[in-house]
Structures are given as structure tokens and as C-alpha cells.
């Protein structure tokens, strides 16, 4: 009887291991995808959270009002071929302006820029 129970446990353990390996093989491609991979080519992407996490919004056009995303951006990735100017108020207003070069990215916006973006357009800030 002892031998029989031992074999039953071994079989169950083997089945569990096989299930784990199978699950890993299926989920591996998803797990290896970086969060910024969600940003399409030729778009300027903004993320709600640090580390390119949370909700994402993107555009290849000027945005005078970020709508739901107003004052929420905490990281960004510029996959366009041109610079982007960020403004702290809608309609490209406010005292502060933030330049992003073509291809630029930052996974951790510091104050006063974190959660403070309200509009953006192509080009550098006017100084
Ligand atoms: Ca945020």
C-alpha cells in the first residue's frame, strides 16, 4: 500500500510539472513583451503610470486638449521622426514647456511635469 501511494504522488507531481511547463510555454511571449511595445511606430505615446504602465494614449497629430488624459501622464515615448513640445495647459498654454526630441523617451517624469501635461504639438518649445 505504501508503495502504491508513493507512486500516485509521483505521478500527480509529474502531471503538475507538465502543466506548469505547458502554461509557461504558452504565456512566455506575452510576458516578454515590454510595456512600451504597446506604442505603435510613428506615434507619440503617453502613459498614465511610471515605467510605461497603465493606460496609454497616442497620436501623430497636435493635441490641444488631452481630454481624459489631462494631468495624468507619468511616462512617454516619442516614436515619431520629429520633436514634440509639451504644455502644462490646454491649447499649448502655461508657463512651462517641455521639449522631447525625436525618438525620446522617459519612464519616470519628475515634478513639476509628472501628472501635469495638458496639450502637445510637433516642434520645439518657443523660447
Ligand atoms: Ca500619472
29 and 91, same domain (yes or no)? no
74 and 12, same domain (yes or no)? no
Residue range(s) defining the domain that contains residue 64: 35-122
Other beta carbons within 10 Å of 79: 18
Measured distance CA(94)–CA(80) in Å, rounded: 24
| 45, containing H or E segment | strand 44-49
Q: What is the pLDDT of residue 68?
A: 95
Total tally of structural domains belonging to the chain:
2
pLDDT digits (tens, 9 = 90+) for 89-116: 999 999 999 999 999 999 999 999 999 9
* Cα 1 to ligand 1 centre (Å): 61
Per-chain residues with Cβ under 5 A from ion ligand 1 = 48, 72, 74, 115
pTM value is 0.74
pLDDT digits (tens, 9 = 90+) for 22-48: 444 444 445 568 998 999 999 999 999
* Cα 117 to ligand 1 centre (Å): 10
The verdict on residue 127 lying in a domain is no
Amino acid at each position: 500500500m505504501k508503495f502504491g501511494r508513493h507512486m500516485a504522488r509521483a505521478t500527480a507531481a509529474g502531471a503538475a510539472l507538465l502543466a506548469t511547463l505547458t502554461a509557461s510555454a504558452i504565456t512566455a511571449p506575452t510576458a516578454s513583451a515590454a510595456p512600451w511595445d504597446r506604442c505603435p511606430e510613428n506615434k507619440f505615446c503617453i502613459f498614465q503610470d511610471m515605467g510605461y504602465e497603465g493606460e496609454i494614449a497616442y497620436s501623430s497629430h497636435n493635441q490641444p486638449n488631452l481630454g481624459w488624459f489631462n494631468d495624468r501622464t507619468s511616462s512617454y515615448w516619442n516614436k515619431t521622426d520629429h520633436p514634440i513640445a509639451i504644455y502644462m495647459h490646454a491649447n499649448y498654454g502655461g508657463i512651462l514647456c517641455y521639449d522631447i526630441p525625436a525618438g525620446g523617451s522617459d519612464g519616470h517624469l519628475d515634478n513639476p511635469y509628472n501628472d501635469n501635461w495638458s496639450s502637445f504639438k510637433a516642434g520645439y518649445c518657443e523660447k
